[in-house]
Homo-oligomer: A and B are copies of this chain.
């Protein structure tokens, strides 16, 4: 096990009616004037906007609205939000929505006290050490941004999709009411489940030995998803399944299932080019890329993939030939993704073979750059993984 630090001080209020505590929580964490940040109009239709603003009013907290966050959130609205916060003297950002809205809120929070261009944090990989406090009211179970220090933004100049991070970005509080996720259609629900599972998988495949507790915690989240996903796809209003998935999204990404080990993250990097270029859902892109990545790298550690197959997918171990078990695990993962309605290849996603060279180039690895903590991948490998996903 590697040395590590773990600090996840987000306050979670979970369950029915939890959105009523927003005003109390903004006050507890020092907010006196709020930027209320959101996406499209769905939060005004499903009641969460009314509940949140009522709670803010109850505690006498003024707010300024900034809607319009798109999936794969863009830099333009971030710049607008930074200007608005400075002009209005805002000291707390409240994101109401899914991962895109939260990521956009984090970018604004980082940008307000920063003298330079907020994009520095994304393009140069500088950790964010100072930011306005952020709170969230989550309405989509997927990104785990409600409990993580991470944010992903697409810059409209070149459509570059890049991640930023920093402890200052971890939300002070997050309010999770699974009822508000029940209006999410099956496809978007499945995209979220895929994202949650791949957040775990990025941490699971490691070269660090002897991290049994973290292995088991990873397997726990994956098994819970395998159990709950079919229930919610069959019945979108299954509160219990929605609740399990929503909390799993947080557990999958606050790093409690990732400490003490090197992590991979190649699939996320490779996928980001897809969703940047085609504006597809991140989870759908991961469903195409992650199994292809597995097929490309599994020989690096056949026994680890066999463990994945046996413990997560309950395959019988082929002791004479563990490679057969390893491949069976990947096959079951693909079948599962297909069963919940995810695309498995470029054609199903609407991506094109001829764009591969451009995506490899935009990733910006150059001659010698690599991604991936489990298997180190250069341009040629990334190209090959895209082609395995055709």
User: A: which residues have CB within 8 A of B?
Assistant: 1-18, 209-213, 215-217, 219-221, 223-224, 227-228, 240-241, 243-244, 247-248, 251, 256, 259-260
> Contact at B213–A247, with CB atoms within 8 Å?
yes
- Let me know if A259 and B240 touch, CB within 8 A: no
Residues on B with C-beta less than 8 A from A10 are 7
Residues of B within 8 A of A217 (CB): 217, 220-221, 251
Given A1-B244, A14-B259: A216 touches B220 (CB 8 Å cut-off): yes
**A219-B224 Cα distance, complex, nearest whole Å:** 11
Q: Are B224 and A216 in contact (CB under 8 A)?
A: yes
Given A1-B243, A216-B219, 18 further pairs, Cβ under 8 A: A1-B244, A1-B247, A3-B15, A4-B14, A5-B12, A6-B11, A7-B9, A7-B10, A14-B259, A211-B244, A213-B247, A213-B248, A213-B251, A216-B220, A216-B221, A216-B223, A216-B224, A256-B256
User: Which residue of the partner chain B has the closest CB to A251?
Assistant: B213
CB-CB < 8 A to A11: which residues of B? 5-7, 9
Q: Which of B2, B14, B215, B241 contacts A260 (CB 8 A)?
A: B14
The answer to whether A8 and B5 touch (CB under 8 A), given A213-B247, A216-B220, A224-B212, is no
What are 12 A-to-B residue pairs whose CB atoms are below 8 Å? A1-B243, A3-B14, A4-B14, A5-B11, A9-B9, A210-B240, A212-B227, A213-B228, A213-B244, A213-B251, A215-B224, A251-B256
Bound form: Cα–Cα A172–B225 in Å: 33
Q: How many angstroms from the CA of A265 to the CA of B168 in the assembled complex?
A: 37
CB neighbours of A6 from chain B (8 A) = 11-12, 14
A7–B7 CA distance with the chains assembled, in angstroms? 11
Once A14-B4, A18-B3 are accepted as A-B contacts, the answer to whether A243 and B260 lie under 8 Å apart by CB is yes
A211 to B227, CA, bound (A): 11
For the complex, give the distance between the alpha carbons of A244 and B210 in Å: 8
Residues of B within 8 A of A227 (CB): 212
Residue of B nearest to A239 (CB): B1
What B residues does A2 contact at CB under 8 A?
Answer: 15
- Give A214 Cβ to nearest chain B Cβ, in Å: 8
CB-defined contacts of A17 to chain B, threshold 8 Å: 3
Whether A1 pairs with B240 at a CB distance below 8 angstroms is yes
Closest chain B residue, CB of each to CB of A214:
B247
Establish whether residues B244 and A259, one from each chain, have CB atoms under 8 Å apart when the complex forms: no
* Chain B residue at minimal CB-CB distance from A15: B3
A23 → chain B closest CB, angstroms: 16
**In contact, A228 and B212 (Cβ under 8 angstroms):** yes
Residues of B within 8 A of A223 (CB): 216
